[in-house]
Structure 1
Amino acid sequence: MSNTPHTLQEEFPFDLEKIHQLKVSNAHFAKLLTSYDEVNDKVHRAETRLDLLTEAEEEALRRQRSQVKDEIARMLRG
């Protein structure tokens, strides 16, 4: 288990300009960014034990973060 924040800047360091362009031109993409940040914050809080969650709840959050990140990645490639 890692408690390192997984910011999108770290996840997609070579796509920062494209992320910005999509954020301002595509409402769905902008919503995905917000969703990613929200769930990522929840994962980080759980990993650092600021919020006490069961292993199953924490794993569900990680899966949700991964799904949102995968959709972001698909849109960046598209």
Structure 2
Amino acid sequence: MPLSHHPLIKEFPEYKEQIHDLKIKNNHFAKLMKQYEDIDKHVYRIESDEEPTGDEYLRDLKKDRLKLKDELFGFIKEA
């Protein structure tokens, strides 16, 4: 399975404009999006063996990323 990043715009391409607007107009959304992107980059580095770590830590990061993605999607659906 090829490794890839999971930016919000790639995850929800149909909401590209809402994501852009929220990022500009909603500070809380922008902060959560930055956290999501940071975790996503961290997961990618671990999965590509740039940053070796334990499986449990990686699993926890992925859970955090999913939780943030769900929270961000809630904002997007309301927009």
For the aligned pair, the TM-score class normalised by the smaller chain equals over 0.9
CA deviations on 1:18-63 (whole Å, 9 max, x unpaired) are 0111111110000011001100000000100100110000000000
Distance 2:27 2:77 in 1: 17
- Amino acid in structure 1 at the alignment position of 2:70: D
Corresponding residue number in structure 2 for 1:74: 74
Corresponding residue number in structure 2 for 1:31: 31
More helix by share: 2
> Please, what TM-score do these two structures have when normalized by structure 1?
0.94
Q: CA RMSD in A?
A: 1.2
Distance 1:20 1:53 in 2: 33
Gaps of 5+ in 2: none
Distance 1:28 1:9 in 2: 18
Corresponding residue number in structure 2 for 1:18: 18
Distance 1:64 1:23 in 2: 20
3-state SS of paired residue (1:4):
coil
3-state SS of paired residue (2:13):
coil
1:4 aligns with 2:4: yes
> Please, what TM-score do these two structures have when normalized by structure 2?
0.92
Gaps of 5+ in 1: none
Check conservation: 1:22, 1:30, Cα contact below 8 A. yes
